Amino acid sequence: MRPGLHTVTEGRGLLFGGDYNPEQWPEHVWAEDAALMRAAGVNLVTVGVFSWGRLEPSPGERDFAWLDRVLELMHGAGVAVDLATPTASPPPWLGHRWPETLPVDESGTTLWYGARNQWCPSSPVYRERSLAITTALAERYAGHPAVVMWHVGNEYGQVCHCDLSAAHFRRWLRARYRELDALNEAWGTTFWSQHYSDWDEILPPRTAPYIVNPSQRLDWARFCSDALLAQFTAERDVLRAHSPDKPITTNYMGFFKPVDYFAWAPEQDVISNDWYPDPADPRFPARAALTHDLMRSLAGGRPWMLMEQAAGAVNWRPHNLPKPPGQLRLESFQAVARGADGLCYFQWRQSAFGAERFHSAMLPLAGPDTAAHDEVRAHGRELHALSDVAGTTVRASVALLHDWHSWWAAEERARPSDRLSVTEQLTDYYHPLWQRGVTVDVARPSSELTPYRLVIAPQLFLLDEAGAAALTGFVRSGGVLVVGPFSGIADARGHLYTGRFPAPLREVLGVSGEAWRPADRAVHCSWRDETGFTPTSFTARDWTETLRADGAEVIATFDADGGPAVTRHEFGAGVAWYVGTLPSAAALSELTARFLADAGVAGVLPDLPEDVEAVARGDLLFLLNHGDGTVSVPFDGDAVDVLTGSPLRNGATLAPRGVAILRQHAGTGTAGPATR
Amino acid sequence: MRPGLHTVTEGRGLLFGGDYNPEQWPEHVWAEDAALMRAAGVNLVTVGVFSWGRLEPSPGERDFAWLDRVLELMHGAGVAVDLATPTASPPPWLGHRWPETLPVDESGTTLWYGARNQWCPSSPVYRERSLAITTALAERYAGHPAVVMWHVGNEYGQVCHCDLSAAHFRRWLRARYRELDALNEAWGTTFWSQHYSDWDEILPPRTAPYIVNPSQRLDWARFCSDALLAQFTAERDVLRAHSPDKPITTNYMGFFKPVDYFAWAPEQDVISNDWYPDPADPRFPARAALTHDLMRSLAGGRPWMLMEQAAGAVNWRPHNLPKPPGQLRLESFQAVARGADGLCYFQWRQSAFGAERFHSAMLPLAGPDTAAHDEVRAHGRELHALSDVAGTTVRASVALLHDWHSWWAAEERARPSDRLSVTEQLTDYYHPLWQRGVTVDVARPSSELTPYRLVIAPQLFLLDEAGAAALTGFVRSGGVLVVGPFSGIADARGHLYTGRFPAPLREVLGVSGEAWRPADRAVHCSWRDETGFTPTSFTARDWTETLRADGAEVIATFDADGGPAVTRHEFGAGVAWYVGTLPSAAALSELTARFLADAGVAGVLPDLPEDVEAVARGDLLFLLNHGDGTVSVPFDGDAVDVLTGSPLRNGATLAPRGVAILRQHAGTGTAGPATR
Amino acid sequence: MRPGLHTVTEGRGLLFGGDYNPEQWPEHVWAEDAALMRAAGVNLVTVGVFSWGRLEPSPGERDFAWLDRVLELMHGAGVAVDLATPTASPPPWLGHRWPETLPVDESGTTLWYGARNQWCPSSPVYRERSLAITTALAERYAGHPAVVMWHVGNEYGQVCHCDLSAAHFRRWLRARYRELDALNEAWGTTFWSQHYSDWDEILPPRTAPYIVNPSQRLDWARFCSDALLAQFTAERDVLRAHSPDKPITTNYMGFFKPVDYFAWAPEQDVISNDWYPDPADPRFPARAALTHDLMRSLAGGRPWMLMEQAAGAVNWRPHNLPKPPGQLRLESFQAVARGADGLCYFQWRQSAFGAERFHSAMLPLAGPDTAAHDEVRAHGRELHALSDVAGTTVRASVALLHDWHSWWAAEERARPSDRLSVTEQLTDYYHPLWQRGVTVDVARPSSELTPYRLVIAPQLFLLDEAGAAALTGFVRSGGVLVVGPFSGIADARGHLYTGRFPAPLREVLGVSGEAWRPADRAVHCSWRDETGFTPTSFTARDWTETLRADGAEVIATFDADGGPAVTRHEFGAGVAWYVGTLPSAAALSELTARFLADAGVAGVLPDLPEDVEAVARGDLLFLLNHGDGTVSVPFDGDAVDVLTGSPLRNGATLAPRGVAILRQHAGTGTAGPATR
């Protein structure tokens, strides 16, 4: 049994803190930091993420004394440390002495030092040097009482197209395919005369005169994720060998396309995420919830950790909107509600120099006597009052399917329409569930689906036979399945299935198609009379299909040709829906009500006001008002708001961006998903 | 006398088929292909375009056995074969072993294998290897009874800026200029201190700090077209040596800027084109007609071949709209009407993998029992009923002038306005002729112009003295000439003529200008009272000129300064018009009526409904309804619709996207261009 | 005492002419040029700017004979010559034989010959060769009577990232920092692990995986400007050694970001500028005025020279609008009004070839009998009538602060908002002064500020302690200071000051802030009641701040939080304003009236009509109508229009784009800035 996040939260409750980079400040500032952390209720800081150049100023030279003092200081202040391997940003000496460690983009351009991340995942020199500094850290601090967790690297995502990467890619391909013929078959190299006669001919997808082989690119995406994972596990193994009792994490970036977090998650002790929503995106609260649900799902339902978020504005968008007052607290509780046991920020103290000097922090450059820091301190106090939330879980009866391999394959160049977006379709289907207070897990087709009553696949372009069989079996056993357009189209190689689509799901869906017909204008559809939908017509966008019902009931038709647009198929003990277009949000919301009815699933509260999110975690019901106005949320019976201790009867009132966390009296069971 | 398209159509009638790539499929599928081809009326397939990697899996190794079986199968099924040299896409081994065969862009970036087209037109190794495989094919299949035509390469357009290309460019320049002084003079190297003191200093136009010498770029464009032509003719000569009795083609891409098809056409036995209109472009039917007219003109008025089109949607635009039902048939007949004797598609069977797996085909992945394939089969039957159209010709009394050298020169960087577009101006002037049922040839100034009554030069920026003399002589002899703005500005070197513009056409036009005045807002113009135009004013866009009538009649003036905007000059026995702006479509339509009246040319039918195209080919009159509504087309007398056999009197009714092909009774001569 | 522009204008009056490139034309054209120049009143031409390839056709070979003849011809025609070193555009032989002289961009792409400017400022070979040709020119023509001024290079701005540049950058950095520790400190290399352990590791900012260190980029910008200056001074020193009595210039490009003209100006004898306004920009007349004021300020208040402008349209924008009739004259007089003693054009005769063949010229390709040339000739005559303007000066009581280092630092990537633009903010504050006829100097914080009553710093992001002290002292001594947002934020290293902002100006402003809050929508603000502004509210855009008045009076507040938006602080004997947002033009105009009232400054005329610019130079008052309509400009008393000799009483009437230049009778003192 590996240590986990519980190892850290035990005795500490919810974790609150941030990245701490004392090497940017003279030592006299450190003591002020420690005092201000205590005042703000900080109990965890991540140290050392970008300290390689400080720890190893020149090759082989080591300077740990400053870090000794930092850890001592934190320990004395009662602040635990998540100690990072500093390998995300090698010092300039690495690229200067070993230029082959520098990454190269697909056009052959070298990416130099001067920023960060300038390392090739396939470089033996980088591997050797990164493990050497990791070993030195592990040897020195494995037993340090301040250190409670290890943090490997940072936001893995580097890609390199150099010759070393090419050689590594070939090794990876040999392990996958064994025989060159198998690779030629998988990549479809009879197309455009791309037959490989020797392993040495194979290259990463580099700049080419026209569209590069999509199967080559799919394997390249797989390789890149795996090559990074190998670097992670190599560092992790060094840490585990020296420090077996402390959990290890690396920080994710939500729905980050280059890295398959489903493959990574089992390799980590703690799932942690960095989350920087765009305040200009009207759907960001729902996206936040979906992303948090992904993290909880990656953590196997156990608590996870928000490793980085911004206390206010970020600095890397063209125009960086601040968070209005209350927003920091609202977003933090949203993560707690969805299973987070750690609420950390990048970073503790705002930098005065460097590329992120304009990024907000828990402690602004203007100092502690600021509205921004006041909010941080107040929120730290609130989190301490909630310490018994730590370790509790969130239950879901609905799963949304997402698969990185499908994502990679689906959004290749030269497809029917680039207006189909995997994450937009995910959000489209997530949004009406979120609005209804229905909690959702994120799974992939090979996940265990028996816990769920409703499984939704908004877009699973790539679906292998095993995945299709799992979905078919799920319905046969009584589950409700919803499949969105452009699903079940390609096999694991990225080859299109022949025959009517979606070939491996035709049986369970009872519908099949022969043509995608991207649409230029708004798509008009009609509900069939017997469905009872009102109004009887709806709009969709961008996408139509030529479908034929093969046993399914037609729920809606395309006005243009009268053919099926939405179908419902009773199959085995369950029901399978197919949606062959991109319905408007209103239409999808109405459809979602039918999906839920078929599955016998209800939200945690009926009739939620718009903009109010409701989630049950453990025995608490979180109500979160993402709107600008004051709203009333009715419920039956009595409850207590654990933040204020106030008793509530039959409802709660939420201020703009307000939060209520209810513990309900026995017998008033509104919290928790409804049962059939 | 070379063999031509007639060699292929004799005994076969109109050709119907597509690219056939059996190497992408297991052999058991081939038999199904043959049966389905027969059922669809396919009588020609293009085989082997991308088969180099299959034919020569490693350098020097040959595998023809599969191709033997394919040709045997096709022959047995009565399907003739257009056999391709596979040189458009070398196998990876070529670029791997001889990296100097890979093209390099203007910034020095290598374009790798992984897609297609990765070859440098100036590479000796590529030349040697491509001719070797071509020779092997020619030796083996010259006498094969299935093979009726040769297809060289595919869609020539590769450009390379490498050092081998630079050396080749220098050889080409030495042949053109002989003396370095002549090159310095032609390139105007006294500007910006670009004097070349040694041939070895000369380079392709590579990435530079600022605007590159436009004369250098003009010669580079000429060289690139010639370098590709040299590759084509080298392969062609191998084929001719082994197979003198079979015609040879390569497929064009319409108004494709990099390659001067006027220079290429005489080198080919058959003119063939690939045509992929954009359904989102409202003017695409007119553009199609213009492009087909270009092909017929390149073929010297003889039949040509549509080598590639899409049965439905393509896959390489961001959002790929499908063709509505009936559109495939409509577009095919449009090509027949304008002289096509071959109607082929890319491709027979949709690919399951590779970069074009989402490109539609005659046989979709969903199989033969689909609406898409039904349309293909039905159209195949219809074409067979029209087999006696093959070999007939289309007459035109109007020529539209287009010149690749002028196109290259006109659209250089740093010109008065990049809102002037050669192909848009061509389409502007073509459109009202097309709407009136006036058939047009596309010619260049050095073409034989005596067959025409009306010659229109929408924009001939580059016009040498001989070209100007030809136009002048045409008018002197009684022709009607129309010249659009920015014509007659530069000589063959790209140097601007000095003096009032358009210098070499001033005499024939009787008008001259001193300044171009690009306009920010809509341009307002007025017809002179005596012209009788109503309304008396019109709008134009983007472009005005400061003109002075030197003998010409002023037809319209710019409201801003009262100066001439449109003039008409009676010169010799003819008339020369000048249009110094970009009139609205309505104004240009009215002007076109005057041009036609001056020339005594009328369309094949008067008063055509909007969206109906009318063309006479041989003794048939094609009526094509490009609109979404049903329309009536009146004509005088009796006719028979050869598609249905129905007699028609005084008119035809066309369904949306409907087609009628009329053979008229003697004495009711509406078909064919009117005579004076 | 160095020679200056007066050396050239003495006996010649205002200079009128342009670039003359006879090497582009056969010699018989030269005589026509000379005659037409005389007819047009041309008295100065710049010769040889791009003549290196003509002067040194191959390495070491020299051909001066043609230039001898050109200078002789000009001398004979009474046209003085500004003789250029031809070093802006090396001949192809330089890059061919010494490829290391070619510049390389940040991605490593070489920029080749074929255009111009292809030289690396750090190349020893380029330095050697450029000084050799400069020396040869200087030796030959130092005493030539036609040569009255030297022109070094052209529009300096080349940047190179090659290894030679890297080595040069390191030398520059060693001189700046002495110790590597000091560099590490200044660049904040503890951020993202960028510690340099050896000077040799340091590179220019090249393409990197993410945001490059902003302090490194700031020093790189400084280095690039300095490296170019070193090339300029090296050529200048050669010229001075041989030709000590003739002034030396190089032509600027207005607010051109890569080069710090404040650092350059003291190295030159004559300040000259190239000015190509964009006719599509509605604020271009004000931008022109601001740019001219910058040039006069760089010249220390002495006359300067408009070295290049277009007689009509340029050719390098996508759509090049012409100048309407009268515009050439209007723009020329605008420059004279603001201190220009030279009014020159690129170029005398329009090129027939090369990348600028479509750029207008004093003599169009259409010849002298054109409206365009008529305007040139008429304007030449007018300028001669104004010859006694030469040498007179323009007084200003207001200074606008601008600093290149701050500009470089402020617009780095990854900042609060890229909607803040230094030059837009400068123009915002300049515009209402320009509309009121208030003349402005452009200064930097280290300039002598005592001549001014009002100093405005629209955006001084980077402000060192000395600069802040100067501004504070200015107010303490009775000056009025206005500071716009995002000022006083960073020190000279680009590090942000800690504590409330703007740290070094908090005392003088009596206000401090803790957060920038970029705004998504229009910002609504209210004037405090006691200020008497009507209407009482106004809008601003994009930017708000969380401010606290620390002694200042609050003038306006943000509606969103009620906090200060505009403040006014009486400090010492003066007043300091702070504006924490980007007010609308109307609001800023109202504020400007208050700034002027505080400073006791008034425009040269009250109640100027919109679009009319009024400037006093010497004893003349220039009235310039930038509008399309006829306007009346009232003034008190009698005056004479020196252009027409007409007496005027109590006002002048200006035609569209009309100009009046008034000499007023004694006792009617409207001209000149008002006094307290």
Contact: A354, C499; criterion CB under 8 Å: no
Q: Which residues contact C558 (CB under 8 A, 6 or more apart)?
A: C523, C524, C525, C544, C564, C565, C581
Q: Which residues contact B349 (CB under 8 A, 6 or more apart)?
A: B20, B21, B24, B25, B29, B33, B361, B362, B363
- Residues of B annotated in the binding site, as ranges? 116, 120, 154, 160, 162, 316
Which candidate, A158, A168, A160, A159, places its Cα nearest to that of A202? A168
| pLDDT tens string A435-462 | 999 999 999 999 999 999 999 999 999 9
Return the axis-axis angle of helices A214-242 and A180-187, rounded to nearest 10°. 120
How much is the average pLDDT of B640-658? 96
Reported as half-sphere exposure (CB side, CA atoms, 13 A), residue A249 has a value of 30
Contact: C353, B202; criterion CB under 8 Å: no
Shortest distance between the Cα of C321 and any Cα of chain B, in A, equals 5
Ordered by where they begin, the domains of chain C are: 5-159+221-389 (3.20.20.80), 398-599 (3.40.50.880), 612-664 (2.60.40.1180)
Cα Rg, chain C, nearest whole Å = 26
The strand ranges marked E within C599-658 are 612-617, 620-625, 631-641, 647-654
pLDDT value of position B123: 98
pLDDT value of position A673: 40
- Catalytic residue numbers of B? 155, 308
pLDDT value of position A344: 98
Model confidence at A672: pLDDT above 90:
no
Q: State the chains in contact with A (3 or more Cβ–Cβ pairs under 8 Å).
A: B, C
The percent of residues above 70 in pLDDT, for chain A, comes to 98
Which candidate, C244, C248, C237, places its Cα nearest to that of C46? C248
Residue C605 · residue C614 · CB < 8 Å:
yes
In total, the C-beta contacts within 8 angstroms joining chain A to chain C are 180
Taking the C-alpha atoms of residue C184 and residue C195, their distance in angstroms, rounded to an integer, is 6
Which of B52, B87, B112 is the best residue to mutate to test the A interface, defined by the most A CB atoms within 10 Å of its own CB? B112
pLDDT value of position C521: 84
For residue A664, the cross-strand partners are A639
Sheet containing B574-579: which strands, arranged edge to edge? B440-443, B398-401, B454-457, B480-483, B574-579, B564-571, B553-558, B523-527, B537-540
Q: In this structure, what are the phi and psi dihedrals at residue B594, rounded to the nearest 5 degrees?
A: -70, -40
How much is the average pLDDT of A275-286? 96
Residue C482 · residue C454 · CB < 8 Å:
yes
C162 is annotated as contributing to ligand binding: yes
Which candidate, C204, C102, C201, places its Cα nearest to that of C161? C204
DSSP letter at C359? S
Residue for token pair 């009879």: A190
Model confidence at B675: pLDDT above 50:
no
Taking the C-alpha atoms of residue C204 and residue C166, their distance in angstroms, rounded to an integer, is 6
Q: CA-nearest residue of chain C to A357?
A: C496
Taking the C-alpha atoms of residue A469 and residue A321, their distance in angstroms, rounded to an integer, is 46
Query: Nearest CB to B358: which of A196, A209, A415?
Result: A415
Model confidence at A303: pLDDT above 60:
yes
Measure the N-to-C terminal CA separation of chain A; round to a whole number of Å: 36
| pLDDT tens string A541-598 | 999 999 999 999 999 999 999 999 999 999 999 999 999 999 999 999 999 999 999 9
Helix H segments across A178-243?
180-187, 214-242
Question: In Å, how far are B366, C490, C663 from A352, measured between CA atoms?
Answer: 61, 9, 56
Residue for token pair 């000129």: B545
Model confidence at B672: pLDDT above 50:
no
Instruction: Supply B42's token pair.
Output: 């396919």
Taking the C-alpha atoms of residue B624 and residue B655, their distance in angstroms, rounded to an integer, is 10
- Residues of A annotated in the binding site, as ranges? 116, 120, 154, 160, 162, 316
Chain C residues whose CB is inside 8 A of the A321 CB are: 518-520
With a cut of 0.85, is the ipTM above it? yes
Calculate the CA A588 to chain-centre distance: 23
If one counts every other C-beta atom within 10 angstroms of the C-beta of residue A584, the result is 17
Region of C400 please: left (phi>0), alpha (psi -120 to 50) or beta: beta
Taking the C-alpha atoms of residue C116 and residue C153, their distance in angstroms, rounded to an integer, is 12
Calculate the CA A70 to chain-centre distance: 32
Model confidence at A345: pLDDT above 80:
yes
Residue type, A254: G
Model confidence at B433: pLDDT above 60:
yes
Q: CA-nearest residue of chain C to B189?
A: C354
Sheet containing B631-641: which strands, arranged edge to edge? B612-617, B620-625, B659-664, B631-641, B647-654
Query: Nearest CB to B520: which of C23, C280, C371?
Result: C280
Contact: C417, A96; criterion CB under 8 Å: no
Residue A387 · residue A642 · CB < 8 Å:
no
Taking the C-alpha atoms of residue B618 and residue B339, their distance in angstroms, rounded to an integer, is 9
Query: Nearest CB to B201: which of C24, C92, C353?
Result: C92
Contact: C500, A366; criterion CB under 8 Å: yes
Taking the C-alpha atoms of residue B151 and residue B135, their distance in angstroms, rounded to an integer, is 14
Q: CA-nearest residue of chain C to B205?
A: C114
Query: Nearest CB to C499: which of A51, A115, A366?
Result: A366
Taking the C-alpha atoms of residue A585 and residue A580, their distance in angstroms, rounded to an integer, is 15
Average pLDDT, chain A: 96
Grade residue B668 by pLDDT with cuts at 50, 70 and 90: very low
Average pLDDT, chain B: 96
- Does C581 or B664 have the greater pLDDT score? C581
Residue C67 · residue C51 · CB < 8 Å:
yes
- CA diameter of chain B: 78
Residue type, A272: S
DSSP per residue, A501-514: BSGGGHHHHTEEEE
| pLDDT tens string C316-359 | 999 999 999 999 999 999 999 999 999 999 999 999 999 999 99
| pLDDT tens string A97-120 | 999 999 999 999 999 999 999 999
Contact: C21, B190; criterion CB under 8 Å: yes
pLDDT value of position B1: 75
Chain A residues whose CB is inside 8 A of the C415 CB are: 315, 358
Model confidence at A668: pLDDT above 50:
no
- Residues of A annotated in the binding site for substrate, as ranges? 116, 154, 316
pLDDT value of position C1: 75
Grade residue A187 by pLDDT with cuts at 50, 70 and 90: very high
Tell me which residues of chain C have a pLDDT lower than 70. 665-676
Chain B residues whose CB is inside 8 A of the C318 CB are: 417-419
